[in-house]
Structure 1
């Protein structure tokens, strides 16, 4: 499974894990997991179609409801062709439930983000102005230089308000690399997997993922203003070991801060993605990833 995300639900004292595929697992101890359960209920007559691909799901509790942030792709609808690549209809979207185990169902707005832009990996943040936002990636497939953006959400998260605003570009990263058509080094074009957090000293940070050539890699940026508007200053070095990315943070019921992420491995010419947990120190000015967390 890729893009693992874990909600530690205090009410039920249960961990709920989602990711790519529209499935959910639940656990009392992070070791033994029940599932998978199908929890995402989409509208077959919407833009998503009858059987959308579902990527990078996250669960967020907000105002006594549970929200399912995910990327939905309708492979039957083509919105653009760039440099020979056909771009399918794909967008970050939000479903809702009264319970963490779902089912998660559509809300008022059928569309949160523009129909003519491929967007993905939406996550949730309430900024210092008290307003809720979705932070998401505008995919490099269309713009050639992936961006991180924000859009304001309605108070009940049932739709979006206004237009998306740029936070930073993939090319702002000092650590992500790729080769251009002439073999020259340049920043990688991919933005992937944003997740927001506060450090112990109150700094606003964002982990996000790109590539160093063919190695999946995660870095971190910090907002100088303490708000989503930034400016976002990219840390020079990645924060996880090579081949780990698309992380998120949660606190165990014992109070330990963990990061979930996934790695890649080739098995019989097939890429397999494997969830992992890391111990994290958030007590100081910066997020520090310590070591892989092995459940006893």
Structure 2
């Protein structure tokens, strides 16, 4: 029998092992497949960029691979696109988590979390940090820029994303890992204009414990807010309301939440919605607009197969015409 207060930790370990196996596979030469239905792709933290110049959808996520599609129904991949420096702090074979693609001023940027299992911080925690690579093409290759680090070397960070705030400055939005601080955070740090590094110090936006919906068990069996912050994604509705998707857990169920900033800026204050925005067993969502103008949420769900947790990308329609997002129907194979 597993005591209730051990379940979140055991589940987190199982998820980490699953992600580790997928991420290590990035170092093998992939077999390129064509006409693969979205529901047949196994991928954590799916991120989709709709690239207007090429009229192509590019999907990436955890594992460092890239898929592409013209219609969101059939996909070609996986392609290896990240080329890190083996002499950097990442080492020769870093794990890659939650990669995102962003087009800016004629270039393409690869925001991702890199882990070097050979470097330990504190109590045996593997060094993990957000970093940005660059390419002239959406297909890559994505290579390092000037700065060797974007965030403090002793700080475990993950799930970086990009947002340009009302001050006109670009910011990296990221999470500080709950394994290190016991109460995960979402923070911002200013980026250099060409994204080649960061300037200044990080600023706290909110903590995992601010959530009214996430839950885990204390040692005495009572409830407390979950410690995890994952996958921030900033958006603005058509009415101008600033919001942020982010993910945590309700006991052992990965769950998608949302918060809104009444000030309309990253500095908040961030007001957490009372309830999750999606059904249970969905998380790490992001938003993109299709070439015909439809707003979709790309997100993953879990499925247990022979005792292993497998993650699959899913798509939901979203209505952003009001002050708050309204989730629509789930699509099947991009339809």
Equivalent of 1:167 in 185, 201, 205: 205
**Partner of residue 38, structure 1:** 80
Equivalent of 2:238 in 187, 200, 222: 200
**Partner of residue 44, structure 2:** 2
Q: How does 1:24-103 map to 2 (within 5 A)?
A: 24-81=66-123, 86-103=124-141
Aligned length: 292
Distance apart, 1:70 and its partner CA: 0.3
Q: How does 1:199-278 map to 2 (within 5 A)?
A: 199-278=237-316
Post-superposition Cα deviations, 1:16-70, rounded to whole Å, max 9, x if no partner, equal 0001001001100001111110000000000000000000000011111110000
Distance in 2, matches of 1:134 and 1:293, equals 30
Q: Does 1:22 find its partner at 2:64?
A: yes
Distance in 2, matches of 1:113 and 1:87, equals 16
Distance in 1, matches of 2:143 and 2:321, equals 37
Post-superposition Cα deviations, 1:234-254, rounded to whole Å, max 9, x if no partner, equal 000000110000000000001
Distance in 2, matches of 1:241 and 1:56, equals 21
Consecutive unaligned residues of structure 2, counting only runs of 5 or more, are: 1-42
Equivalent of 2:54 in 4, 7, 12: 12
Q: Does 1:112 find its partner at 2:154?
A: no
Distance in 2, matches of 1:150 and 1:80, equals 23
Distance in 2, matches of 1:278 and 1:38, equals 27
Post-superposition Cα deviations, 1:133-190, rounded to whole Å, max 9, x if no partner, equal 0000000001000000000000000000011110000000000000011111110000
Distance apart, 1:87 and its partner CA: 0.9
RMSD: 0.6
Consecutive unaligned residues of structure 1, counting only runs of 5 or more, are: none
Q: TM-score, normalized by length of structure 2? A: 0.86
More helix by share: 2
Residue aligned with 2:143, SS:
coil
Q: How does 1:122-161 map to 2 (within 5 A)?
A: 122-161=160-199
Distance apart, 1:290 and its partner CA: 1.1
Distance in 1, matches of 2:183 and 2:80, equals 34
Q: TM-score, normalized by length of structure 1? A: 0.98
Higher relative contact order (CA 8 A, sep 6+): 2
Residue aligned with 2:144, SS:
coil
Distance in 2, matches of 1:29 and 1:157, equals 30
